[in-house]
Amino acid sequence: MFACRLPWWRSSAACKSWQSGHFLPWDRCQMLGIKGINTTVEQEQQAGMKEKQMLEDLEMPLAKRETETLFQEQPETGNQYLEDTLLRSYLKTHLPPKVLEEVHQDLERFGNCLQTEIQPLSWECELNPPVFRQYDAWGRRVDHIHTCSAWRRMKEISAEEGLIAEAYERRYSNWSRLYQAVKLYLFSSSSGGFNCPLAMTDGAAKVIESLGIPGSLKNAFDRLTSRDPEKFWTSGQWMTERRGGSDVANGTETVARKQPDGTYRLYGFKWFTSAADSDVTLTLARIADAEGRCTQGSRGLSLFFLRVRDEQGKLNSIQVQRLKDKLGTRQMATAELWLQGSRAELISAEGHGVAAISSMLNITRIHNVIGAVASMRRMISLSRDYARKRVAFGKLLKDHPLHMQTIARMEVQVRGAFLLLMEIVRLLGLAETNLASEQEQLLLRLLIPVAKLYTGKQASAVAVEAMESFGGQGYMEDTGLPVMLRDTLVLSIWEGTTNILSLDVLRSLTKSQGQVMAVFLSTVQVSPELQPCSA
C-alpha cells in the first residue's frame, strides 16, 4: 500500500459538474460558473446552496466557524474523460460509430482508473524519486538505480492499458494512432513522468517497424508493443553526448568496433540518457575501420540497438556516472553513462543512422505535444474548479469578470493546441496505414515541428498563468502545482529547441520546393480544425 500523502489537486473525488464546456455569454458563465453543457438544474441548485453557505461562513466570527484551520477548499477533478467535453465532441464528430462505441466505453473506464489508482501513484513517484547506489556495502561497484514501487506499477499499467500496443495492433485501422494519442493525453498529466519512457518506447517500436521488423529485432518489437506486464519493455534514446544534443553530426563521439560474430562493441560517454532504467535503447555511434578511423559528420553515424542488461540483470558493460539533478521530471532517472564495450547490434545501413532515427524523433515530438496539451488541460481544469470555491472580495472568483476572462483566454489556447494535436495524429494514422495522400504526408511533415515548437512554449506560459490564478497557494510546494510547472519547462527543450525546430521547418519547405506551404494554406482554408480560433 502507498502512503496517502496526496496534494489536494490529486485527491479522488466525484465527477464534477463543472466540465470543459463550450464558451457561454458572460452573464450565463457567471451564473453557471462555466459548469459545462451537461450541468443539470439540480447540480446548479446544489452548487448555489454551497456557495451561499461559504459566503455566510465567511461573515461569521472566526471563533464560531466550524473549521478554524481550513481557510480554502481544495480544487478537485473527476473522470478526466467525462469532464473533457471538447475531447468527447471531437471523437463523436470524427470516429466511425462502431469505433466510437468501443472507444467511449474504454475511455470512461480508463478515466475512472486514472482517478482512483493512477493519480495517487503519480504523487508517490514525485515523493520517491530514483536513487543511485554506486557501490554495495563491501565496496563492489553495482551501479544500481532504484525506482519506487509506484514507478514500476506505472510500467505495468502502461502495458495493461496498451498505451504503446494500441498504435501497432491497428484494431481500428487508421484511427488506432489517434485512439492511442487520446489515452496518452488522458494519462500524461497523471503519469508521474512515465509518459517520457513511453515516448521513447513508441519511437523505438516505430523505428523497428520502419525497418521491416528484421528477425533479430522481432522479440524486441513484440516486447515493446506487448500488453503483458511480464514481457513489456521500455526503451531509452541515447543521443546526447558531451558536445551537445541537437548537433548529433558534430557532437557524437561514441565509437563502434565490429566483432568477429558480427555484433559491435560501443565505447563512449552518453551525457544525458533519459529513463536510464529502461530495458533497451537505440543510440548513434561511428563505426571504426580496421585502422580505427571514423568518418566524421552525419555520414559517419550509424544506428544501434542494445540491451541495457543481460538475462541475469547485469549491466551491458555500462557504468553509471551519476544521476542528473534536474529542475523537473525528477520522477524519472536521467543519467550520465560510460559505454565501455557495450554489446550492440547495427540496425541501420552503415552511415545512415540519422535517416533511420528520424521516425523515432517524429514520434517523440508528437508525444511532446501530447504532454504539453495534457498539462495545459490539467492546470486549467484545476483553476476552473478553484474559481468555483475560492472567495475573494466578498464573492467567488468565478463571479469576477477579469478572473474569468483570464481562464477563458487560457481555454482558447488549450483548445487550439488540442485540435492541432488531433489533426497531427489523424494524419499519422493515415500515413501508417498507407491511406495518406502526398499532400497529407507533406502536411504531417510540416506540422510536427511546428506543433512541438508552439505547444512546448505554450505549456509553460499557460502553467505560469494558471498558477497565478491560485494566488499564494499556487506557490506552495505541497499543492503539487509547482511540480506541474517544473515538468512543463522541459517541453520546449527536449527533442529540439525553438531554433532547431525552426530550421527543421525551413528544411521541409526547401526540400518540397515550397509545395508544403501551398498544401498548408489550402488545407487551412477548408479544415475547421486548422482555422484560427475566434474568442
Q: What's residue 524's pLDDT? A: 87
Domains in the chain, CATH or no CATH each: 80-225 (no CATH), 235-353 (2.40.110.20), 354-520 (1.20.140.10)
Q: What's residue 19's pLDDT? A: 35
Backbone angles phi, psi at 29, to 5 degrees: -60, -45
Cβ atoms of 444 and 431 closer than 8 Å:
yes
**CA 229, CA 406: separation in Å to the nearest integer?**
43
What's the mean per-residue pLDDT of the chain?
89
- Name the amino acid, one letter, at 128: N
Q: What's residue 308's pLDDT? A: 97
Q: Does the pLDDT of residue 170 top 60, yes or no?
A: yes
**CA 278, CA 202: separation in Å to the nearest integer?**
13
Q: What's residue 348's pLDDT? A: 96
Residue pLDDT, tens place only, 472-503 = 999 999 999 999 999 999 999 999 999 999 99
**CA 117, CA 269: separation in Å to the nearest integer?**
38
* Residue reference for cell 543512422: 353
Residue pLDDT, tens place only, 28-87 = 333 334 333 344 455 556 666 666 666 665 555 555 555 555 567 889 889 999 999 999
**CA 460, CA 328: separation in Å to the nearest integer?**
12
Q: Nearest 10 degrees: CA dihedral of 272, 498, 179, 233? A: -10
Q: Write out the three cell numbers for 468.
A: 497565478
Q: Does the pLDDT of residue 516 top 60, yes or no?
A: yes
**CA 507, CA 496: separation in Å to the nearest integer?**
14
Q: Write out the three cell numbers for 325.
A: 539533478
Cβ atoms of 226 and 202 closer than 8 Å:
no
Q: What's residue 39's pLDDT? A: 44
pTM of the model: 0.87
CB-based contacts of 73: which residues, under 8 Å, 6+ apart? 54, 389, 390
Q: What's residue 534's pLDDT? A: 46
∠ Cα 416 420 422 (to 5°): 115
Q: Write out the three cell numbers for 205.
A: 517500436
- Please choose, from the candidates 401, 412, 410, 533, the residue with its C-alpha nearest in 3D space to the C-alpha of residue 467: 410
Q: Does the pLDDT of residue 532 top 60, yes or no?
A: no
Q: Write out the three cell numbers for 189.
A: 498529466
Q: Nearest 10 degrees: CA dihedral of 180, 107, 116, 66? A: 120
Residue 367 CB coordination number (10 Å): 24
> How far from 229 is each of 62, 152, 161, 232, CA to CA, in Å?
53, 10, 10, 5
- Name the amino acid, one letter, at 489: L
Residue pLDDT, tens place only, 341-372 = 999 999 999 999 999 999 999 999 999 999 99
- Residues for the chain: how many in total? 535
**CA 479, CA 264: separation in Å to the nearest integer?**
49
Residue pLDDT, tens place only, 448-460 = 999 999 999 999 9
**DSSP bridge pairs for 133:** 144
Residue pLDDT, tens place only, 198-220 = 999 999 999 999 999 999 999 99
* Best mean pLDDT range from 7-16, 25-34, 81-90, 243-252: 81-90
**DSSP bridge pairs for 266:** 256, 342
- Name the amino acid, one letter, at 348: S
- Please choose, from the candidates 66, 92, 82, 76, the residue with its C-alpha nearest in 3D space to the C-alpha of residue 20: 82
**CA 255, CA 445: separation in Å to the nearest integer?**
31
Q: What is the mean pLDDT of residues 136-154?
A: 96
155: left (phi over 0), alpha (psi -120 to 50) or beta: alpha
Cβ atoms of 257 and 215 closer than 8 Å:
no
> Residue 244's pLDDT band (boundaries 50, 70, 90)?
confident
How would DSSP label each residue in 370-400? HHHHHHHHHHHHHHHHHHTT-EETTEEGGG-
